[in-house]
Amino acid sequence: MKELGRISTLPINRFTSNGAYLQLSDGEEVLLPQGYLNGDEKEGDEKEVFVYTDSEDRPVAITDRPVALVDEFAVMDVKEVTQFGAFMDWGLPKDLFVPKSEMGKPITEGQKYLVMVCVDYKTNRLIGVSKYQDFMLSDTGGFEEGQEIKGLVFDKTDLGYKILIDQHYEGLVYGNEVFKPIMVGEEITAYIKKKRDDGKLDLQLTPIGRQKYEEGAEKILAVLTEKKFLPLHDKSSPEDIKISLGMSKKHFKQSIGQLYKSKKIRILNDGIEIVD
């Protein structure tokens, strides 16, 4: 069944008390339950549906859309863990099952994990696979250093945050270069800092052209990029500066001096603001 795990537009063949039966490409039918009908449909009408298997492993069509289709990744919440595997919330009435044999590492209830939706060809049903490394590509020839990318934050480690790029590439933003909150499951914009020999990508959250600033100036610039203005100046108390930026007053003054000379900020009587 080529429609399994995908969004398809299928015609209505017939109606029963259970709902509408839709025509599949292989000549078989799949039930769209009554609860997904608005009552105005007629035979021959087409419905855009997602096809998967119900709690009894029977093919069924629904009009809801999951967070990922077959052969796609998404970060999912763990709803329940059993001795056989884990059940993930992917936005549908029936949770996505990740068999224990398909776990990349032990899964903990209540946490988030990167999972790919796959077809289990032994049972002809959809399952989740958290062994994400099996799907990663190492040929990064299509990327350039300095390139802007969109990525999905899928894990936090001692080094930093792992980022999924274009569904098949792994990037890393180092923790000591992150100056704003980042959450697992969040989509972010980042820039390629380095293409590594192992096929992974080192990333940073600010454009590569800003690397010339030392760490304190980079941190202030990142905060100003988001907030536009900071009520801190050379008369601010060391405590206020430390609470807001986690740096000493001396370091703060050196950093804003560097940014001011580079014409990246304006120094006002009541604070500093970024130059657009």
DSSP summary character for residue 63? S
The CB-side HSE value for 134 (13 A sphere, CA atoms) comes to: 12
- 142 domain-assigned: no
pLDDT in tens, the chain (276 residues): 899 999 999 999 999 999 999 999 999 999 999 999 998 999 999 999 999 998 888 899 999 999 999 999 999 999 999 999 999 999 998 999 999 999 989 999 999 999 999 999 888 899 999 999 999 999 999 999 999 999 999 999 999 999 999 999 999 999 888 877 899 999 999 999 999 999 999 999 877 765 445 778 888 988 998 899 999 988 899 999 989 888 888 889 888 988 998 889 999 989 999 997
- 221 domain-assigned: yes
In angstroms, the CA 40 to CA 265 distance is 60
> Which CATH number do you get for residue 27?
2.40.50.140
Q: Are 44 and 90 in contact (CB under 8 A)?
A: no
> Which CATH number do you get for residue 261?
1.10.10.10
- 140 domain-assigned: no
Within this chain, do residues 195 and 230 fall inside the same structural domain, yes or no? no
- 1 domain-assigned: no
Within this chain, do residues 22 and 37 fall inside the same structural domain, yes or no? yes
Within this chain, do residues 53 and 95 fall inside the same structural domain, yes or no? no
Tokens of 18: 């259970």
- 269 domain-assigned: yes
Q: Which of 110, 133, 156 is the last residue of a domain?
A: 133
- Which structural domain, as residue segments, surrounds residue 119? 73-133
- 139 domain-assigned: no
Q: What's the predicted TM-score (pTM) here?
A: 0.76
Within this chain, do residues 167 and 190 fall inside the same structural domain, yes or no? yes
- 53 domain-assigned: yes
Q: Where are the beta strands (DSSP E) in 102-208?
A: 112-120, 125-129, 148-156, 160-165, 169-174, 187-195, 201-204
DSSP summary character for residue 101? G
Within this chain, do residues 50 and 81 fall inside the same structural domain, yes or no? no
Tokens of 171: 């990037």
In angstroms, how far is the first alpha carbon of the chain from the final one?
A: 54
Task: Specify the number of domains making up the chain.
Answer: 4
- 2 domain-assigned: no
